[in-house]
Structure 1
Amino acid sequence: MYELLSTSDRQQWLMASLRRQPLIIVLRPKESDLLGPFLQSLLCHRLDQLVDLGVRHIEIAWMDHLRWSDLIATIRLRHPTVQLGVASVTSQRGLQAVIDLDLPYAMSPLLDQGLVSMAHQHNCCLVPGVMTPTEIRQALVLGCHLVKLFPALVLGLDYHRQISAPMGDLPFMIAAGGLTVADLDPWLSAGYDAIALGRGVLNTTAAVDDLRHWLT
């Protein structure tokens, strides 16, 4: 589906999709999710729940495990309409798995020039993690039009405004790390383009209700 798209096209596609729904939910598989029957796993339950709520962008964290790629293939068959990305890509091995599966995009908690170069070479959309103005500028120079601000909660709600004044135009910025559903509207209003949340949004009935309310 995505094999004919260039890196730039994939970045534009992801930005357009996130403008329609500026939310990403990140799920981290456990060993039991990989070894047991998928339909009986907690991960499957979480995915079904998110899709039923109307979440469009879901990331599955990379794991260096023989059955990880099979897990991703199973998820894609069960939920073909989900824009499925990969989180926590910090190695060439992880990025190669994303490339081999032709997944829409991957995210990293760090800015690694080697990984960015590898992604561009294979027309893969890799969203690097950044924290400082220097890293943000370096990501732009490397051709990354989307970045993940991480850890967002440590940097604070006002960080976007503080750096946009001296830096001017900023890349499409996804805030991630320590945020909750209650942070969605304040952080989006503060200038961030999208928000990434962890699986904790499904840990309580109240949290699920808050997410459902936001999505509707």
Structure 2
Amino acid sequence: MTLDDLLADGAPPVCAILRGLRPEEALDMAAGLIEAGIRILEVPFNSPDPLKSIGAMQAEFGDRALIGGGTVLSVEAVDGLHGVGGRIMVTPNTDPQVIARGAQLGLELLPGFMTPSEAFAAIRAGARRIKLFPAARLGAAYVKAIRDVLPGHVGVWAVGGTGADTIGEWLAGGCEGIGVGGALYRPGDNAALVRDRGRALVAAWKAVA
């Protein structure tokens, strides 16, 4: 399953960033988010035992959601993600070696960028989608400006300060989708609460789609 497949199937362009997720809560959290309609799930590598969570979620839900890791900072981390079946690789930065390794392994890539130079470096390394981070510091007007020089086939996602109240702004600004962290999940939140926040996010997307 690819990100293109998910979006073509009508899934909302929302990536749930589950920073701090513990393996023992991973399946319940994933089930609640998928029930809410969110089908792109990212466990950052600075979470407790992230590969265990990603592997369990992939084994249980990999046929209906795109599951992978975030804050991927090294080639070794890319290999680990691939080894447990992760399908999407998200980074906060532009590291051509990390991006190229993810492309070589056939992962869905969402590397982070801030400047045009970083955006084009990520594209040269193999990315078809890039992630503006931290997005809220720059705003949707920045996306509009940078889209003027990017290749048309490259999708831009906004991450950092995003949520149900701003998804319309980002999509109108030229983003393909958004990643949502703290507005959706924080360590200690239970699965029911996160599911309800996920439903609100999906409803907000449907209202502007």
* TM, length-normalised to structure 2: 0.80
Q: Tell me which structure has the larger Cα radius of gyration.
A: 1
Question: In the alignment, is the contact (CA less than 8 A) between 1:53 and 1:215 conserved in 2?
Answer: no
Structure-2 residue corresponding to 1:70:
52
Higher mean C-alpha deviation, range 127-136 or range 18-27 = 18-27
Distance 1:166 1:118, change over 3 A: closer
CA–CA distance in structure 1, aligned partners of residues 79 and 47 of structure 2: 11
Structure-2 residue corresponding to 1:5:
none
Structure-2 residue corresponding to 1:92:
75
CA–CA distance in structure 2, aligned partners of residues 213 and 64 of structure 1: 28
State the Cα distance separating 1:170 from its structure 2 match.
6.5
SS in 2 for 1:120: helix
* One-letter amino acid of the counterpart of residue 136, structure 2: L
* One-letter amino acid of the counterpart of residue 204, structure 2: W
Offset from partner CA, 1:15-54 (integer Å, 9 cap, x none): 4424532111110235xx24xxx2xx3x444323212211
CA–CA distance in structure 2, aligned partners of residues 145 and 162 of structure 1: 18
The within-5 A match list for 1:106-121 is: 106-121=89-104
Structure-2 residue corresponding to 1:174:
157
* One-letter amino acid of the counterpart of residue 14, structure 1: L
Structure-1 residue corresponding to 2:65:
82
* One-letter amino acid of the counterpart of residue 197, structure 1: V
CA–CA distance in structure 1, aligned partners of residues 199 and 107 of structure 2: 35
Structure-1 residue corresponding to 2:19:
28
Figure out how many residues of one structure are paired with residues of the other and give that number.
Answer: 196
> How big is the alpha-carbon RMSD for the aligned residues of Structure 1 and Structure 2?
2.7
Question: In the alignment, is the contact (CA less than 8 A) between 2:100 and 2:126 conserved in 1?
Answer: no
State the Cα distance separating 1:62 from its structure 2 match.
1.7
Structure-2 residue corresponding to 1:8:
none
CA–CA distance in structure 2, aligned partners of residues 166 and 82 of structure 1: 32
State the Cα distance separating 1:209 from its structure 2 match.
5.6
CA–CA distance in structure 2, aligned partners of residues 207 and 180 of structure 1: 10
Offset from partner CA, 1:50-77 (integer Å, 9 cap, x none): 1221111111112486x54333222223
* One-letter amino acid of the counterpart of residue 124, structure 2: V
Distance 1:143 1:73, change over 3 A: closer
Structure-1 residue corresponding to 2:200:
210
Structure 1 unaligned segments of length 5 or more: list them: 3-12
Higher mean C-alpha deviation, range 112-121 or range 182-191 = 112-121
Structure-2 residue corresponding to 1:46:
29
Question: In the alignment, is the contact (CA less than 8 A) between 1:18 and 1:194 conserved in 2?
Answer: no
Question: In the alignment, is the contact (CA less than 8 A) between 2:165 and 2:204 conserved in 1?
Answer: no
Structure-1 residue corresponding to 2:113:
130
Q: Identity rate of aligned residues, in percent? A: 22
SS in 1 for 2:92: coil
Structure-1 residue corresponding to 2:170:
187
SS in 2 for 1:139: helix
Question: In the alignment, is the contact (CA less than 8 A) between 1:25 and 1:199 conserved in 2?
Answer: no
Offset from partner CA, 1:67-119 (integer Å, 9 cap, x none): 54333222223324221121110122211111212322211000101112222
* One-letter amino acid of the counterpart of residue 24, structure 1: C
CA–CA distance in structure 1, aligned partners of residues 28 and 59 of structure 2: 15
Match of 1:147 among 121, 130, 140: 130
Distance 1:15 1:172, change over 3 A: farther
State the Cα distance separating 1:183 from its structure 2 match.
0.9
SS in 2 for 1:191: coil
* TM, length-normalised to structure 1: 0.77
SS in 2 for 1:48: helix
